[in-house]
Chain A
Amino acid sequence: MTGVLPVALEDATKTIQVLLEAGKEYVCLMKLHSDVPEDRVREVLAEFQGKIYQRPPARASVKRRVRIRKVYYLDVLEIEGRNVLFRIGCQAGTYIRKICHDVGEVLGCGAHMQELRRTRSGPFTEDEKSVTLHDVVYLHSKWQETGELEYLRRFILPMEKTLEITPKIYVRDSAVDALCHGAHLTAPGVVSLEAGITNGSTVALFTLKGEAISLATATASTKEILEMNHGIVARNNRVLMPRGTYPRMWRSKTSSA
């Protein structure tokens, strides 16, 4: 199978969890096992939008119990005889091979997945700055030849790209180093935040320069955070920024000198 496979480097590998849980989009070629009227195929495929029940296939990396997966859209691109090409946007962990099989069952003729290409993984899509392994080899050697950082920047994106669709809280400079040391975010550190955050949301804490500091769990909603004067608003799960990137502007209780 081909398509969007984000590869995180060095410290950025800490953001991979976000991508594993992110929604995906695929273009799939499904092959029907006998002739079925086109309208009937479209009708059945439309039923696979919304919340669907899916039992992971035999060769799966998760426990094989029926689970609910969200299919955001399933658009037919082309039908030619027994070949059906469709685009599907779905929650992480949706098995497309299984959808093809299940569509075949509903149609009564049987069907299988012939080809699959991933066209999106979270914020990454196939058209925006996507590169092939050949591009990577070429651009990397050009950088080695010339020392021009532009060649590296052509294919290495900042890890913040990974967090593009993760809700964010922006914090003031004076709170950054404490967060890098694992402290939780308190209300006075918040400068701005995105609408729609709820207690329990996974959020990304960002500097005002747009740098990722850490991944955290919000302990209050956007509305509550806006009104709070003190208290914890997000608990750190994973620190991404090294300590000392921002100056230390906090005092520890034990080492008061």
Chain B
Amino acid sequence: MPRIPAPWTVKRKILVKSESETDPSFGYKPEERPYPDLVRFGVINLDKPPGPSSHEVAAWVRRILGVKHAGHGGTLEA
């Protein structure tokens, strides 16, 4: 059976079409987003504990942080 490379092992080159610069007076580098944008556009790499369902865990995060929306990426069956 031929091996299929995992998507996370694929390295892709970046090719330049035209030169351009970005104006620092608007927008932010993602890692420099101020509060509350850093929460609004944020994601948590959570290590799910055994027991509660993925859905329950997301609901806890929502409550702890006092945010309106929190959703998990892919059910990890309880």
Contacts and interface: CB of A to CB of B under 8 A. Distances in A.
A133 B46 contact: yes
Interface in B40-78: 40-50, 54, 57-58, 60-61, 64-65, 67-78
A10 B41 contact: yes
Given A7-B61, A210-B30, A128 B45 contact: yes
- B interface: dominant SS: loop
A123 B26 contact: no
A10 B6 contact: no
Contact of A6 (B18, B27, B43): B43
A190 B73 contact: no
A11 B40 contact: yes
Contacts of A158: 30-31, 33, 38, 41-43
Given A152-B39, A155-B44, A8 B73 contact: yes
A193 B40 CA distance: 27
A128 B52 CA distance: 23
A141 to B, nearest CB: 9
A146 interface: no
A47 B1 contact: yes
Contacts of B68: 10
Given A165-B10, A211-B28, A240-B41, 12 more contacts: A6-B46, A8-B43, A13-B69, A15-B43, A72-B3, A131-B46, A131-B47, A149-B38, A165-B7, A173-B20, A191-B20, A209-B27
Interface of B: 1-10, 12-23, 26-31, 33-35, 38-50, 54, 57-58, 60-61, 64-65, 67-78
